[in-house]
Amino acid sequence: MTAEASTQALIERRARLLGPNVSTFYDDPVHIVRGEGVWLWDAAGRKYLDCYNNVPHVGHCNPRVVEAIHAQASTLNTHTRYLHEGMLDYIERLTATMDESLSTAILTCTGSEANDIALRMAEGATGKRGIIATDATYHGNTALVSQLSRSNVPELGFGLEQFFRFIPAPDSYRNPDPDAASLVAALEREIAALEADGTGFAALLICPMFLNEGFPDIPDGWLKPVAEVVRKAGGVLICDEVQSGFGRTGTHFWAHQKLDAVPDIVTMGKPMANGHPVGAVVTTPEMMATFRTGFRYFNTFGGNPVSCAAAMAVLDEMDAADLMTNAATVGAYARTQMEGLAQKHTAIGNVRGMGLVFGAEMVLDHAAKTPATAFTDRVINAMRERGILLSKLGRHRNTLKIRPPMPFSMANVDHLISTLDEVLAQTPLEP
C-alpha cells in the first residue's frame, strides 16, 4: 500500500470507529509512528520538527522518563489506597515549587479532572456556585468543566449554564489592558450579577497566560489587582496551569508567579509526566480539608506509582538539562527572529510570546487588524508540507501556536524561521 493509500485507509477507519466530527490536524493528516527529542517521523520515514507539542515536555520518548516508567511498571503498579512513598515524594517535590501556602494535592489522570475538582473545592469553600471564566477559553471536557467552553452546542449541558459567567479575555494587540483595569471592571460586574441573581460568586478560573486565547502580552504583576477583587468578594482564585506551568515561561516555574499572585488552587496536567496521563490539583490544607470532608473523592488511576515515577523523572530531567533556562534563552531568540520576519511580511500583525510559547498574529491589514484566519490555515498546511508541525489558536484562530518540547534549540529556531520565511513569501494573503 502506498503512503497515501494507508493514510486514506486510516482516515476511513477513524470515521467508522470513532464517529463523526473527530478532528485531525492539517488538510493532509500526518501519520506519526515515532518520536525522539523535538523530532517526529511519519510512516513513510519522513522527519518533522515538532513545534507544537507541549506534552512531551522534556522531549519525545525521553530516556530518563521511559526508564522510570519501565522500572516502576516492572516492580509495582496499584492505586492510592495502599501506602506508597512515590506519590508523597512527588507531592512534596511539586509543592516545593510553589508558595508555601499551597502544600497539599490530589493527583488525577487529566487536566479536566483537576479543574472539575477545583470547581467543587470552590463550592465547598464558599458555599456558592457561580464561576467566572474568560470568554474564549478551554479548560476541559467533564460535564461541569465543559460549560466553560463556549463552542459547545448551547442547548446541551445539563442546564448548568446559570452557574457560569464570562468576561472578555485580554487581547494586548486590539485592546491593551496593561494594568488589568478593564478585566477588573468586567469581573466586578459579573460578581455583582451573580450575587444579585442568588447564585453567589464562588471562583474565577483562568489560565494565567491565556494561552488558548492567544497568549497576550501582559506585564509581570498583572494578576495582583485581579486576585484582590476575587478575595474581596469572598471568592476563590483558580489558576489553570495545564499549559502554562512547568517552566514554560522561561522565567518562572508557574505563570502565576510571573504575574505575582498566589492562587487558592492551581491545576495542572499535560506536560507533567511527558505524556503519561497525570494531572493535579494543588491547594491549601484548609481548602483540601473542606473538600475531603464534603466529597468522598477517589481516583482509581490518579497518583499510581508508575504515574508518580514518570512525573518525578520529568522534574529530574528539567533540572539535569536546565530546561527552564533553555526556554528563556531560546524563547527570547525565537521572539527576536519572529520580529525580524514581521519586518518583512506584512501579514504578521503582531508578535507575542514568553519563553517557549511564541507566535505571530496574522492579519489582512494593519489598520483594521482584520484576522487572516484562512491565510493562517494555508501557512500551517504549507509548513506541514515542509516538515514543520505547528498550529493556530486565539479568538480569531489566526495566531500561530508554537509551543515545542522544552529541549528546543537555537538551531531548531533557525530551521523554523527560515522555513516560515519561505512559506510567508510564497503563500498569497488572499487566495
Ligand X SMILES: Cc1ncc(COP(=O)(O)O)c(C=O)c1O
**Residue environment code for 123-143, b if the CB has 16+ CB neighbours within 10 A, otherwise e:** bbbbebbbbbbbebbbbbeee
Could you say which residues in the range 212-251 bind ligand X, by CB under 6 A? 212, 240, 242-243
| Complex with ligand X: residue 110 or 290, whichever CB lies closer | 110
Beta-carbon count within 10 A of 365 CB: 12
| Complex with ligand X: residue 55 or 194, whichever CB lies closer | 55
Distance CA 403, CA 386 (A): 18
| Complex with ligand X: residue 115 or 172, whichever CB lies closer | 115
Among 138, 173, 246, 254, binds ligand X (CB under 6 A): 138
Closest CA to 423 of 373, 379, 374: 379
Strand residue runs (E) in 173-310: 201-206, 236-240, 265-268, 279-283
| Complex with ligand X: residue 190 or 240, whichever CB lies closer | 240
Distance CA 3, CA 371 (A): 35
Among the listed ranges 28-36, 133-141, 186-194, 381-389, the one in contact with ligand X (CB under 6 A) is: 133-141
Among 106, 207, 236, 413, binds ligand X (CB under 6 A): 207
Among the listed ranges 61-69, 134-142, 154-162, 281-289, the one in contact with ligand X (CB under 6 A) is: 134-142
C-alpha pair distances (Å), 379 with each of 25, 352, 384: 13, 18, 9
DSSP, collapsed to helix, strand or coil, labels residue 415 as helix
Distance CA 293, CA 224 (A): 31
Among 245, 269, 275, 407, binds ligand X (CB under 6 A): 269
Distance in Å, CB of 243 to ligand X, minimum: 5
Beta-carbon count within 10 A of 22 CB: 9
Distance in Å, CB of 207 to ligand X, minimum: 5
Distance in Å, CB of 227 to ligand X, minimum: 19
Rg (the chain; Cα; Å): 22
Among the listed ranges 45-53, 62-70, 137-145, 358-366, the one in contact with ligand X (CB under 6 A) is: 137-145
DSSP, collapsed to helix, strand or coil, labels residue 346 as coil
Among 139, 276, 335, 395, binds ligand X (CB under 6 A): 139
Residues paired with residue 358 on neighbouring β-strands, in sequence order: 353, 402
Binding mask 91-130 for ligand X (x = CB under 6 A): -------------------xxx--x---------------
Distance in Å, CB of 271 to ligand X, minimum: 10
Site size toward ligand X (CB under 6 A) is 16
Distance in Å, CB of 52 to ligand X, minimum: 12
Distance in Å, CB of 114 to ligand X, minimum: 8
Question: Which triple of cell numbers denotes residue 8?
Answer: 486514506
Positions that interact with ligand X (CB under 6 A): 110-112, 115, 138-141, 207, 212, 240, 242-243, 269-270, 279
